[in-house]
Amino acid sequence: AEDGIRDIGVTGVQTCALPISFPALDPLRSIRGTRVTIRNGPSLVVFASFAHEASLKRLERFSQACQKAGLPADNLVVFALESDAAELTRVAAQRQLRCCIVAGQDGFASPTWVRLDVRAVPQAFLLDGDGIVRARDLTPDRVAPLLAVR
């Protein structure tokens, strides 16, 4: 597909085109200090907790699915519930997560979390190359077939 997302009608995942464009959200910085942007094709945005094992295991599987699809590490954007950048970096390295991490500021009350109606973790959104949300409430098994082969 042109936007890097496979025909979702074939996969059985319900799609959405939320009127929220990721680039329209407040300017975001990763724990590395770089500006978070959506680049070249689909991106997966995951809201997760780095302090809960179940959330981390699912995050590992999301990371693996993105790697298998050939997505660059920056195309997996993880919003952490926690705010300690050093701890987030340590856990990401220990788990071998290839992603861009945004440290939590106000937890579930953070503007990005509120705008995307995130009320539980982990929560995953698939964005097209323009940053428009195309699917939500995804599991790692559901994400893999949606990502186009690069």
Q: Model pTM greater than 0.85?
A: no
**What is the predicted pLDDT for the residue at 15?**
44
**What is the predicted pLDDT for the residue at 39?**
61
Strand order across the 133-136 sheet: 100-102, 76-80, 43-48, 123-127, 133-136
Q: What is the pLDDT along the chain (150 residues), one digit of tens a residue?
A: 444 444 444 444 444 444 455 554 555 665 666 666 666 668 899 999 999 999 999 999 999 999 998 888 888 989 999 999 999 999 999 999 999 888 888 889 988 888 888 999 999 998 887 777 888 889 998 888 887 544
Please report which residue ranges of the chain form alpha helices under DSSP H: 8-11, 53-68, 85-95, 111-115, 140-146
**What is the predicted pLDDT for the residue at 36?**
64
**What is the predicted pLDDT for the residue at 19?**
43
**What is the predicted pLDDT for the residue at 1?**
42
E strands in the chain: 43-48, 76-80, 100-102, 123-127, 133-136
Task: For residues 77 and 103, give the distance between their C-alpha atoms in angstroms, rounded to a whole number.
Answer: 11
Question: Which of 137, 143, 59 has the alpha carbon at shortest distance from 98?
Answer: 59
21 C-beta neighbours (distance < 10 Å), count: 14
Task: For residues 113 and 108, give the distance between their C-alpha atoms in angstroms, rounded to a whole number.
Answer: 6
Q: Check residue 147 and report its DSSP letter.
A: B
- Decide if 124 contacts 143 (C-beta within 8 A): yes
**What is the predicted pLDDT for the residue at 75?**
85
Collapsing DSSP to helix, strand or coil, 142 comes out as helix
Q: At a CB cut-off of 8 Å and minimum separation 6, what does 46 contact?
A: 59, 62, 76, 77, 78, 79, 99, 122, 123, 124, 125
**What is the predicted pLDDT for the residue at 5?**
42
**What is the predicted pLDDT for the residue at 22?**
56
Beta bridge partners of 127: 43, 133
